[in-house]
Structure 1
Amino acid sequence: MSPTGDPQPRRIAERELVFLLGAISATTALGIDMALPAFTEIRLGLGLAADSPRVALTVTLYFFGLAGAQLLYGPFTDRFGRKPVLYAGLALYTLGALGSALAPSFGVLIASRLVWGIGAAGPRALSLAIGRDLYDGDRLGRVLSAVMAVFMVVPAIAPLLGQAVLALGTWRWVMGAPMVLTVVLALWIIRLPESLPPERRRPLTLGRTREAIVAVFTNKLTIGSALAVMFDMGAFFAFLGSSQLLFDDVYGRGDVFAYYFAGMSVCMGLVVFTGSRLVTTIGADRMIVTLLPATVTMSAGLALWSWQAGGQPSFFGWFAVIVVINAVRTFVNPLMQAQAMGPMGDLAGTASAVIGTISTGGGAVLALLIDRMIAGSVTPLVMAYAGYGAIGLGFALWARRHRSEIK
């Protein structure tokens, strides 16, 4: 029996499941982080100004596709099962990567990046749904945190891989390289048992889909946690979209960006891995209400320092604090996702899609507001960390009042 009392689907070993779900989730990050070192080459290759912030649209449009398409995947995966829909997402992911690699203009590039994001939405929604099929409560939080720790390997190495590919070829090679991962995953997923048996599948009708969406929006624990994740992602997406530009234009360190980004990702992964081993001992709720206020306080202090320094605090101090904030928030994020999914066991596919759309799509919009303000200063970014963090903390505390809604 599953922790929820439902018949238990056949499983692979939990350790392999964690690594596989981490790899599935990592397709999202690989589509972003590997391309970051190529921003300068993309500007030159497609006729943009050397300091043009428009290149950040390759990240933003990817996130829009990632967010919006999850609503399509959710109902289909609740009807047809997890694996067939996962394969469909990987196929679109590959198509978007191929289109980006062959793009003759910036317009075609960002259109292909949108398709790429639509493909990435499948693995994004499915990894969360599969986790909820098999676990709940603090065990789900522990597993999702362990998945996040595996996931963080990709942001650590992806910029370095991108830089290595650039040394061998052009930015087009960087865009095409993630297709290798989709082939590996397509073969590995053969080993993954279907986690949604036929007797638990839902009819694919507008009425049943609307019912599931309403269930997400009317459950205060779920919607509050999803909105908290959204504001957290808004700040982090703004960092992803502007980090290379800040390293280059504000600090003159664009040539070593990939190494610093990799080091940050390793630190984040170590924090998440260590924290995941403590979730069932300390409890996800206690960790959330302790760590989120700490990140808001650090963000506010960093924003004040940056303002006093005219938008250019010392590089090492700024980067060290950003690494700590990102590491703690990256650990807390899957715990809040687990809380959001807690009451949604019978609607895991659609619920994960709705939650993903809210958090990813809303986060992309929030990031876009900040990216447009970043020009020669880190102040807009760190103010977003403080402001978005405070709002997200408010939603997390509001959701906490309704934990009794978990069935």
Structure 2
Amino acid sequence: MTSTAPASSPPATPWRLVLLLGALTAFAPMSIDMYLSSLPAIGRSLHVGAEQTQLTLAAFFAGMALGQFAYGPASDRLGRRAPILLGVGIYTVASLTCALAPNIEVLLAARFVQALGGCAGAVVARAVVRDRFDHAETARVLSLMTLIMGLAPVLAPQLGGAIDAVAGWRWVFGVMAVFGLAIGLWVALGLKESRSEETAAQARAENPLRAFALLLREKRLLGYGLAGALNGSVLFTYISTSPDLVMGTYGHSSLVFNIIFALNAVGIIGASQVNRFLLRRFKPDQVLMRASAASVILALALTFFAWTGLGGEWTVLPLLFLALSTYGLMSGNTMAGALSVDPRRAGSISALMGGVSFAAGAVASWAGGMLHDGTPRPAAAVMFACLVGSALAIFLLAVPRKA
């Protein structure tokens, strides 16, 4: 890998801003990971089977995918603060509704609305980063945000499990409501408006649908978008299939599952910080290409051991850890690359990237679940297909080639 990045030292990190933006991106992992170990208790309480409780996860993914297409253009047109505050308010009320849900139908609807609110934080936070930083620095800041966001998969399962054991699953959603309220107050008091007048004028001059249509014509944006979405689909597939794999197929307790889940989150966090240091010497696209190639090799090895059964969980789980860790090397760089294509439409680009990612993740996790046969083989095959597609998008569409 040849170093071509500027040799000057990166500017000082605005830690207060990074902490706030990282917290805004944590709504999804908090809302997903905190309640996973409570799914059996929810089923018993509402008198439904595992298939119906799993739909609460699918409903959340659907809400995250759809909601971002509204908040992105709104943040370009109205500013960054107002859409975040609206979304956080919706999230808080929906979380309380989840906590009080009398049946599975109400819980499903509330989870969908909860996601519609929670997605505002992530989509607008990414736009705020692009408002303030250039391409390379955006990638570094996004990696730092991954460090903060990554604490949610480490801490949320443990916190959710403890709350469920002491007070029951409804209080898990109560804590989510408190989280939403706290972040809303932080935004109201600590986040300054960052949208530029150029962005505002551009947004007012065109219909949001036209903005999306114009962006979809950008070959590089499609490449970064597909690469990020397919790479993220590996994470979603893991989230949706890991409880049954670890606790069902391998027969571990919920405590062991939470520990394994946390370790994989640590791997992603660690890789995101390796990425931050690599970006001091190399361009984001250089790191992205090498990380993508490594992810395909790791996914191929995972698929081989999953299908042959050699070594059982002692080969599958370590390879799964390594394959998932590449997400930390790739996610910030695909997002930074996409946002650099047209900074005037940063909100709309962030919405496209996030919406497509959650839509692809929902399909991948659905496929992994539908094909599940009590072994790690289907999930490994889905992950391998996603990472091959991600690599093709990077090398054929996203990364500019010299004439």
TM-score by length of 1: 0.91
String of CA shifts for 1:327-381, please: whole Å, max 9, x gaps: 1123211111111111121011122112211122222123212222224111111
Report the equivalent of 1:349. Answer: 347
Is residue 82 of structure 1 aligned with residue 94 of structure 2?
no
1:206, 1:196 → 2: CA distance? 15
Report the equivalent of 1:208. Answer: 207
Alignment of 1:158-169 (within 5 A): 158-169=156-167
2:340, 2:196 → 1: CA distance? 20
Name the CA shift for 1:392/1:199 in 2 (closer, same or farther; >3 Å): closer
Task: State the secondary structure of the residue aligned to 1:178.
Answer: helix
2:51, 2:305 → 1: CA distance? 25
Contact 2:225–2:356 (Cα < 8 Å) also in 1 = yes
Task: Quote the offset at 1:132 in angstroms.
Answer: 0.8
Is residue 241 of structure 1 aligned with residue 267 of structure 2?
no
2:191, 2:399 → 1: CA distance? 37
2:13, 2:269 → 1: CA distance? 22
Please list every run of 5 or more consecutive structure 1 residues that lacks an aligned counterpart in the other structure.
1-11
Task: Quote the offset at 1:399 in angstroms.
Answer: 2.4
1:102, 1:203 → 2: CA distance? 43
2:386, 2:199 → 1: CA distance? 38
Amino acid at match of 1:295: S
Runs of 4 or more consecutive aligned structure 1 residues displaced over 3 Å after TM superposition: 197-200, 202-207, 400-404
Contact 1:165–1:173 (Cα < 8 Å) also in 2 = yes
String of CA shifts for 1:229-281, please: whole Å, max 9, x gaps: 11112221111112111111101113221122112212321221232122131
Aligned residues: 389
2:367 to 369, 374, 388: 369
Report the equivalent of 2:4. Answer: none
Report the equivalent of 1:280. Answer: 280
Contact 2:234–2:383 (Cα < 8 Å) also in 1 = yes
1:387, 1:60 → 2: CA distance? 21
Contact 2:35–2:172 (Cα < 8 Å) also in 1 = yes
1:176 to 174, 177, 198: 174
Amino acid at match of 1:171: W
After superposition, the CA RMSD in angstroms is 1.9
Report the equivalent of 1:253. Answer: 252
Name the CA shift for 1:203/1:397 in 2 (closer, same or farther; >3 Å): closer
1:239, 1:351 → 2: CA distance? 26
1:313, 1:157 → 2: CA distance? 30
Is residue 18 of structure 1 aligned with residue 18 of structure 2?
yes
Report the equivalent of 1:294. Answer: 294
Identity, % of aligned positions: 26
Name the CA shift for 1:375/1:47 in 2 (closer, same or farther; >3 Å): farther
TM-score by length of 2: 0.92
Name the CA shift for 1:54/1:377 in 2 (closer, same or farther; >3 Å): farther
Report the equivalent of 2:6. Answer: none
Report the equivalent of 1:56. Answer: 54
Contact 2:267–2:324 (Cα < 8 Å) also in 1 = no
Which moves more between the two structures, 164-173 or 189-198?
A: 189-198
Name the CA shift for 1:371/1:330 in 2 (closer, same or farther; >3 Å): farther
Amino acid at match of 1:397: F
